[in-house]
Amino acid sequence: MVFSSLTFLFAFLPITLILYYLVPKKAKNVVILISGLVFYAWGEPVYVLVMILSTFIDYTAGRIIDKYDDRPKVRTACLLVSLIMNIGLLATFKYLGFIIEALNAGFGLAIPNPNLPLPIGISFFTFQSMSYTIDLYRRHIKVQKNAASFMAFVTLFPQIVAGPIVRYEDIQNEIDERTITEKMVGDGISRFIVGLGKKVLIANNIGLLWTEIKALDYGELSAVTAWLGILAFTFQIYFDFSGYSDMAIGLGRMMGFHFPENFNYPYMSHSVSEFWRRWHITLGDWFKSYIYFPMGGSRKGLPRTIINLLVVWTITGIWHGASWNFMLWGTYFGILIVIERLFLGKILEKIPAFFSWLYTFVMVVFGWVLFDAVAPGTVAFGDVFGQVWTFISAMFGANGTFIDNTAVNYLVNYGIIFAVCIFGSSDVLKNAAEYIRKKAPTWVQYGFPVVDTVIMLASIAYLSTSNYNPFLYFNF
């Protein structure tokens, strides 16, 4: 089930919220638990057991870590069990098939591939659950002794399948004691509607262009067509994922939770390092807290810092998917960040802001080529690299055509939505809204619910008539 579905909007969500608001405070976590299991099992009833297993392992490990606080070996053993089991689940369902196919392709083997379906959001809920045992081991948080409350933390449906990655310490004071006010509910509804509009009205529409161009022969693309295609994906993935995060944060607010922010206008960044401080913020924080800093971070000299950065970014790529292109994507950004750490960062600070922004945006766009310009099912490294190279070559006019009729038609048909994307990915609207709330007369502020209503109605109308409604990060 996805947030941008009529089933969710008109059945699951209203029923869940009505029950949640009606039951006593002590029973609210039970509603969260049951609704989370139903939400997750809607499309994959069997694989809800994977999430339950991960939850059971970490709850049990946490209780033992707390009980044997003075037994370092026991605590370490429990932490290792949690890490091995969760990483094992992730590796089995997400990476086993790719490893087998890569071995078969590379060495001419015929190892049977089990072709296990990927449980939705497994990368998110395993990371979230592991963070609990790691932080408990570090004595950063208190143990959660109530099994239902811990399961509610893991199965909290607003962010269970695509984040934000909510660590236990983010909401440990709210998991058992939280206050729900009218303002929180109102703010949550507004945030949800904005996210729904970003996903349905913008991401879906611009995504149609990328889907169409991606299906063409890369060797025949004009330069403008190639650029239009990857720019379409650049905006699609932002509005898709940030829209989901907005909806998740809004739903959490309606239920009394304050989830961490996940995006901060990343396409306004003036360095690649800054981009990754603004994009998928909770994932970056997770990797810094649990991998980069334990490896030594930047505290052990420049050579070690470079190694740490490259390792973490390669792992970041692998986290996103079991394919060579994701590994290349992560390594690519690791190299760019290392270069900025060595010398380029200081240059970017000194040159005019427009040029540092342009450099960053173009580098990010090339990164999205690595991320998504590869045909599904491509296994061999050479094939992956070949497809990426062919597409990037087309962007530079290697096919001999700068612009053709196809590109002109795309510009005419998608020009307005591109303008909306450019405008919407900046902080102009946010700043205008803040100004109106602070300075404008009260009657002007009544326009906010009107705008929300229009966005909601337009989104429902779109969902009622369109069959194109992917959620990109559900695949991770």
| pLDDT digits 0-9 by tens, 144-203 | 999 999 999 999 999 888 879 999 999 999 998 899 999 999 999 999 999 999 999 999
Q: CA 265 to CA 424: how far, in whole Å?
A: 9
Residues 51-82: pLDDT tens digits? 999 999 999 999 999 999 999 999 999 999 99
Look at residue 9 and tell me whether its pLDDT is greater than 90. yes
Report the b/e string of 329-355 with b at 16+ CB within 10 A.
Answer: bbbbbbebbbebbeebbeebeeeeeee
Q: Of 50-59, 75-84, 99-108, 287-296, which range is least confident? A: 99-108
Nearest to 380 by CA among 316, 325, 329: 325
Look at residue 446 and tell me whether its pLDDT is greater than 70. yes
Report the b/e string of 451-472 with b at 16+ CB within 10 A.
Answer: ebeebbeebeebbeeeeeebbb
Residues 209-242: pLDDT tens digits? 999 999 999 999 999 999 999 999 999 999 999 9
Look at residue 439 and tell me whether its pLDDT is greater than 70. yes
Residues 373-420: pLDDT tens digits? 998 878 788 899 999 999 999 999 999 999 999 999 999 999 999 999
Task: Give residue 470's pLDDT.
Answer: 77
Write down the pTM of the prediction. 0.94
Look at residue 369 and tell me whether its pLDDT is greater than 90. yes
Look at residue 22 and tell me whether its pLDDT is greater than 80. yes
Catalytic residue annotation: 320
Angle between helices 428-439 and 405-424 (to 10 degrees): 30
Domain ranges for the chain, please list them.
6-178, 184-475
What is the 3-state composition of the chain as percent helix, strand, coil, each rounded to the nearest 5? Answer: 75, 0, 25
As a whole number, mean pLDDT of residues 451-456 equals 95
Task: Give residue 10's pLDDT.
Answer: 94
Look at residue 475 and tell me whether its pLDDT is greater than 70. no
Confidence band of 84 (pLDDT split at 50, 70, 90): very high
Confidence band of 467 (pLDDT split at 50, 70, 90): confident
The answer to whether 242 touches 425, Cβ cutoff 8 Å, is no
Share of the chain above pLDDT 90, in %: 78
Look at residue 253 and tell me whether its pLDDT is greater than 80. yes
Cα separations (Å) of 385 from 285, 389, 454? 30, 6, 44
Residues 294-308: pLDDT tens digits? 999 888 889 999 999
Give the residue carrying structure tokens 């239902």: 148
Confidence band of 476 (pLDDT split at 50, 70, 90): low
Cα separations (Å) of 471 from 242, 245, 281, 327, 350? 11, 12, 19, 21, 39
Task: Give residue 474's pLDDT.
Answer: 65
The answer to whether 302 touches 281, Cβ cutoff 8 Å, is no
HSE-CB for 393 with a 13 A CA cutoff: 13
